[in-house]
Amino acid sequence: MSSVRVGYSETGEASWYGRKFHGRTTSNGDEYDMFAMTAAHKTLPLPTYLEVRNLANGREVLVRVNDRGPFLGGRILDLSYMAAKKLGVVESGTAPVQLRVVATATGRENSSSKANYSKAQTPVFLQAGSFRLRGNADRLKAQLVESGIPHIRIVTVEYQENRYYRVQAGPLTGTNAIQKQRTIIINVTGNEPTVVRE
């Protein structure tokens, strides 16, 4: 799909992918991070932001589509490990979900998408970068503050005996605030930020 309207919805089965693909390059050039809130879809433009609801338990998350898939069993969405964990899909492997487009790469939103951001169960953060060296994370944080983003946190994550420092802007609520800081991050880093939920 070359474009998609905000509010577009699908219902079907979702699965998840994790450690085997951690660190590999996704379809839009990102490094797959199993701890980020991302997903793979067969046709939606990259990136597209989705609200995903687990129809079995009512849980909802916001994810960024940055990869292609799934290609098995007629499933409509492949969730990152973290997104699947928050939705309660890790244990079962698959779950019935409803996905809804809340924002696109071009930043076209409407009033209904703003409502979706405002009703989020947890704050939204935009991850601008992930580094092995703390100094690199500190430098990016300083650049973002100078560029007009006042609230930046550095989150430390341990994975396979390695330590990563993740630079995240937020917490953010409201489409306007999210898009404004998304634009700043792209201007500073040259890359699309990853949407992260607590």
For residue 18, tell me if it sits in a domain: yes
Whether 179 and 151 map to the same domain: the answer is: yes
- Domain-located, residue 118: no
pLDDT in tens, the chain (198 residues): 678 888 899 999 999 998 888 888 888 888 888 988 899 999 999 889 999 999 999 999 889 999 999 987 789 999 999 999 999 999 999 999 999 998 876 543 333 333 344 444 457 889 898 888 999 999 999 999 999 998 999 999 887 678 889 999 988 887 778 888 988 998 888 888 888 876
Domain final residue pick, 113, 138, 164: 113
**Which residues make Cβ contacts (< 8 Å) with residue 4, sequence separation at least 6?**
44, 45, 48, 101, 104
CATH number at 36 reads: 2.40.40.10
* Domain contains 2: no
Are 109 and 130 in a shared domain? no
Where do runs of H (alpha helix) occur along the chain? 81-87, 111-118, 134-146, 175-189
Quick one: pLDDT at residue 108?
39
DSSP character at residue 58: -
Q: Do 107 and 156 reside in the same domain of the chain?
A: no
Q: Which pLDDT score, from 0 to 100, does residue 113 have?
A: 38
In terms of Cβ atoms closer than 10 Å to its own Cβ (0-12, 13-18, 19+), residue 130 is: buried
Are 189 and 153 spatial neighbours (Cβ–Cβ below 8 Å)? Answer: no
Beta carbons within 10 angstroms of residue 25's beta carbon: 11
C-alpha 98 chain-centroid distance: 16
In the block, tokens 């100094």 appear at: 135
| pLDDT value, residue 114 | 39
pTM for this model (two decimals): 0.56
* Residues 79 and 172 reside in one and the same domain: no
The 8 Å CB, 24+ separation contacts for 151-156 are 153/125
Domain that holds residue 23: 9-113
Phi, psi of 32 (to 5 degrees): -65, 125
Domain check: are 133 and 164 in the same one?
A: yes
32 within a domain of the structure (yes/no): yes
Q: Look up residue 77 and give its amino acid.
A: L
Q: Domains in the chain: how many in total? A: 2
Do 107 and 142 fall within a single domain?
Answer: no
Angstrom CA distances, 149 to 53, 106, 115, 140, 145, stand at 30, 21, 23, 11, 5
Q: What is the pLDDT of residue 106?
A: 53
